[in-house]
A and B are shown apart, each in its own frame.
Chain A
Amino acid sequence: MALAQAKSDATEARLSGMQIPEGGAGWARAARQDALDRLTGMGLPQRRDEYWRFTNPAEFLKPETPRAEIALDAPGFDDTDVLRVVFTDGVFDAEASDALSQEGLEIERFADAVTKHIHWIKGLLGVLETAGQDRVDRPFATFNTAFAEDGVVLRATGKVSKPVHVEYRRSDDTAEAVLRHMVRVEDGAELTLLESGVGASRLNTGLEVDIADRGVFHHVRMQGRDHERRAATHVFARLGEESTFKSFTLSLNGMMTRNEVIITLKGDDAVAHVAGAALGDGRDFHHDDTVFITHDAVNCESRQVFKKVLRNGATGVFQGKILVQPDAQKTDGYQISQSLLLDEDANFLAKPELEIYADDVQCSHGSTSGAIDETALFYLKSRGIPEDKAQDLLVLAFVAEALAEIEDEDLAETLRTQLAGWLERRR
């Protein structure tokens, strides 16, 4: 079917002058070319598209790179012992990074991996991304496959003791970055991936995660401080038997963020948890969490827990879906999205969806939006806690259920501190 004229014009304008990266092994070129072809075929999104009704893609479509003032350097996971991998303006920064070596882990630059004729990512690059678009077009993910030049490639073969921390930095207020990370967690292996930093004035990240049987993958991400950030991120994960995937994202401001997480539970008894807390202040804040979880095996568990705190005209969006395939009996699916609206100007738009073809399943979902509990606020004030501090306490309490999804208590505490600090500064 031919694309509508407006869509095809916008796509052409955005892609004009862009080329898939030079060099690279034949398979990498093929994967990129395939992505570019698919992208031209589906076109970049328009407001009219079903999955973009709540989020205007205009910021991602502008051909010119937007300007964004460089924010204060946000301290990431400074208190955590990590293997640090830094990308400055979207390019691997060897000087700022640790040596790429760690027991139980193969780690290298994406830019290097794609030049090798034989590499394990050959069978993975763009594969989960393509599969993840079975029902819904995700053009910015395809864009990422076509154009990403750098990123990090991780293969865990054992229990990796130190988390890998991907830190984004930028030196330029018109930096545009497209980064692709690839992860494979082998049978019984364990890996934690952290992400933080200001990245780019327009950032597009893609992450494909393939978890073998009994593999465990934890992902904790902080998007913060850079108020003028525009970010479109995608995480695609495929889970083997008895494997675990847990992803948490804390977002503090950012004018336009769209985080998509697409998971397929492919092996029996697998567990996938996706959670996030987003705090937005101001009319130009827009945060969108779009999640799609497919249960395609028996006795799997999935959880989606998303909390948003919005004020001064900020907008939050949640689109979450659980798809249970006919054979996915004994599925346990849970989805909750809640917003705390601190004033009448804030907006929360939610579209929870369940699509179930198996008959022996348990799926629940809920979505709520509410104001601060005045009775609780008065209770705190009556004990001597000033109004703003009392409100902060209640905000922290509101997002606590999402933060509780982080298994590592130290990491959770780091995020809690970030959150508290942000609240303090906004006063």
Chain B
Amino acid sequence: MLKISGLKVKLEEEDKQILKGVDLEVGAGQVHAIMGPNGSGKSTLSYVLSGRDGYEVTEGSAELEGVDLLDMEPEERAAAGLFLAFQYPVEIPGVGNMTFLRTAYNAQRKARGEEEASAAEFLKIVREKAKDLKIDAEMLKRPVNVGFSGGEKKRNEILQMAVLEPKMCILDETDSGLDVDAMKLVSDGVNALRNEGRSFLVITHYQRLLDHITPDVVHIMANGRIVKSGGPELALEVEKNGYADLMDEVQ
């Protein structure tokens, strides 16, 4: 599904290398987790994959189902099936959540040469998805993320994911700012969307999110590289001993 090879990235504005050769392959239907200390490059990886400005790829490649992602605009990547759930979902006053979702949905369909949904058709789709995810329809009427609690914002990300039906989902520290109950709700949402055609890359500091979303593979990222990969037990090891021990071991 997602294949990243030797990816090196620096900041556009300054001469600072953030990613120093990342190799990663996520198979169809798999859930991979990336853990790592602050400043290891985890969020940068998610931004570079989704096409945010401010980064320069100096080497390497990233492909989604064999298609080069790095050459595409962010909206093209989305239409190709990539989805980034933001660590801090953006508040957009004045834009209704429903308008936003429908514009995104239809823009992606149009880009893929599919027929756009009418307002009525779309309403039906969204209501169904919201119900599946136990999301209050009231949230759809409000402006995008404005006045949403931390939990609501993250659930709104999951709703977008459910509606847009991406193939490759990147969750950037989705657990940050969530209490235990909210984390469970969000995880349930993610789990409901897991299927054999959809892959996930879950970026997190802590092991606790992985209690709810069980990964197939866990990677440890440090200093711009993936330094260790393993099964779910690797996450437990980090939780127990911290990153420092692991770093020593790797070096």
Q: Does B224 contact A (CB under 8 A)?
A: no
Contact of B79 among A384, A387, A399, A400 (CB under 8 A): A384
Q: Mark B93-109, 1 if CB is under 8 A from A, else 0.
A: 11100011001110110
Q: Does A78 contact B (CB under 8 A)?
A: no
By the criterion CB–CB under 8 Å, are B164 and A393 in contact?
Answer: no
Known: A389-B107, A393-B100. A382 touches B92 (CB 8 A): no
Q: Does A401 contact B (CB under 8 A)?
A: yes
By the criterion CB–CB under 8 Å, are B95 and A384 in contact?
Answer: no
Cβ contacts under 8 Å, A127 to chain B: none
Cβ contacts under 8 Å, A384 to chain B: 75, 78-79, 104-105, 107-108, 111, 164
By the criterion CB–CB under 8 Å, are A400 and B111 in contact?
Answer: no
By the criterion CB–CB under 8 Å, are B90 and A385 in contact?
Answer: no
Contact of B51 among A376, A382, A399, A400 (CB under 8 A): A382
Q: Does A52 contact B (CB under 8 A)?
A: no
By the criterion CB–CB under 8 Å, are A382 and B95 in contact?
Answer: no
By the criterion CB–CB under 8 Å, are B164 and A398 in contact?
Answer: no
By the criterion CB–CB under 8 Å, are B94 and A381 in contact?
Answer: no
Q: Complex Cα distance A398/B93, Å?
A: 8
Contact of A379 among B53, B77, B89, B111 (CB under 8 A): B89
Cβ contacts under 8 Å, B78 to chain A: 381-384
Q: Mark A362-382, 1 if CB is under 8 A from B, else 0.
A: 000000000000111011111
By the criterion CB–CB under 8 Å, are A397 and B75 in contact?
Answer: no
By the criterion CB–CB under 8 Å, are B92 and A376 in contact?
Answer: yes
By the criterion CB–CB under 8 Å, are B84 and A382 in contact?
Answer: yes
By the criterion CB–CB under 8 Å, are B93 and A382 in contact?
Answer: no
Q: Does A394 contact B (CB under 8 A)?
A: yes
Q: Complex Cα distance A400/B94, Å?
A: 6
Give the size category of B's interface with A.
20 to 34
Q: Does B243 contact A (CB under 8 A)?
A: no
Q: Does B74 contact A (CB under 8 A)?
A: yes
* Closest A residue to B74 using CB positions: A381
Q: List CB contacts (< 8 Å) of B178-228 with chain A.
A: none
Contact of B93 among A374, A378, A385, A400 (CB under 8 A): A400
Give the one of A378, A381, A382, A398 with max B CB within 10 A.
A382
Cβ contacts under 8 Å, B44 to chain A: none
Q: Does B50 contact A (CB under 8 A)?
A: yes
Q: Does B30 contact A (CB under 8 A)?
A: no
Q: Complex Cα distance A115/B73, Å?
A: 67
By the criterion CB–CB under 8 Å, are B90 and A379 in contact?
Answer: yes
By the criterion CB–CB under 8 Å, are A394 and B74 in contact?
Answer: no
Q: Does B160 contact A (CB under 8 A)?
A: yes
Give the one of B51, B74, B79, B99 with max A CB within 10 A.
B74
Cβ contacts under 8 Å, B86 to chain A: 379, 382
Q: Does B52 contact A (CB under 8 A)?
A: yes
By the criterion CB–CB under 8 Å, are A397 and B92 in contact?
Answer: yes
Q: Complex Cα distance A383/B83, Å?
A: 7
By the criterion CB–CB under 8 Å, are B95 and A385 in contact?
Answer: no
| Chain A at the B interface: SS class | helix
Cβ contacts under 8 Å, A387 to chain B: 73, 75
Give the one of B50, B75, B78 with max A CB within 10 A.
B75
Q: Complex Cα distance A241/B100, Å?
A: 43
Cβ contacts under 8 Å, B74 to chain A: 378, 381-382
Q: Does A386 contact B (CB under 8 A)?
A: yes
By the criterion CB–CB under 8 Å, are B73 and A379 in contact?
Answer: no
Q: Complex Cα distance A362/B141, Å?
A: 32
Known: A385-B103, A387-B75. A378 touches B53 (CB 8 A): yes
Q: Complex Cα distance A401/B93, Å?
A: 9
Cβ contacts under 8 Å, B111 to chain A: 384
Cβ contacts under 8 Å, B94 to chain A: 396-401
Cβ contacts under 8 Å, A389 to chain B: 103, 107
Cβ contacts under 8 Å, A399 to chain B: 94
Q: Complex Cα distance A396/B78, Å?
A: 23
Shortest A398–chain B CB gap in Å is: 7
Cβ contacts under 8 Å, A379 to chain B: 86, 89-90, 92
Q: Complex Cα distance A394/B79, Å?
A: 21
Q: Complex Cα distance A381/B77, Å?
A: 9
By the criterion CB–CB under 8 Å, are A378 and B95 in contact?
Answer: no
Q: Mark A389-411, 1 if CB is under 8 A from B, else 0.
A: 11001101111110000000000
Contact of B90 among A376, A386, A398 (CB under 8 A): A376
Shortest A368–chain B CB gap in Å is: 14
By the criterion CB–CB under 8 Å, are B95 and A396 in contact?
Answer: yes
By the criterion CB–CB under 8 Å, are B90 and A383 in contact?
Answer: no
By the criterion CB–CB under 8 Å, are A383 and B104 in contact?
Answer: yes
Q: List CB contacts (< 8 Å) of A65-94 with chain B.
A: none
Shortest A423–chain B CB gap in Å is: 13
Q: Complex Cα distance A106/B233, Å?
A: 84
Cβ contacts under 8 Å, A383 to chain B: 75, 78, 83, 100, 104, 160, 164
Known: A386-B107, A389-B107, A394-B95. A381 touches B73 (CB 8 A): yes
Give the one of B84, B90, B164 with max A CB within 10 A.
B90
By the criterion CB–CB under 8 Å, are A374 and B53 in contact?
Answer: yes
By the criterion CB–CB under 8 Å, are A385 and B75 in contact?
Answer: yes
Q: Complex Cα distance A401/B94, Å?
A: 7
Cβ contacts under 8 Å, B83 to chain A: 382-383
Residue numbers of B with Cβ under 8 A of A are 50-53, 73-75, 77-79, 83-84, 86, 89-90, 92-95, 99-100, 103-105, 107-108, 111, 143, 160, 164
Which 6 pairs show the lowest CB-CB distances between chains A and B?
A: A397-B94, A400-B94, A384-B78, A384-B108, A383-B104, A379-B90
Can you list 7 A-B pairs, Cβ within 8 angstroms, ordered by A? A379-B86, A381-B51, A381-B78, A382-B84, A383-B100, A383-B164, A394-B95
Beyond known contacts A379-B92, A397-B143: 9 more, CB 8 A cutoff: A378-B53, A380-B100, A384-B78, A384-B108, A387-B73, A387-B75, A393-B95, A397-B93, A401-B94
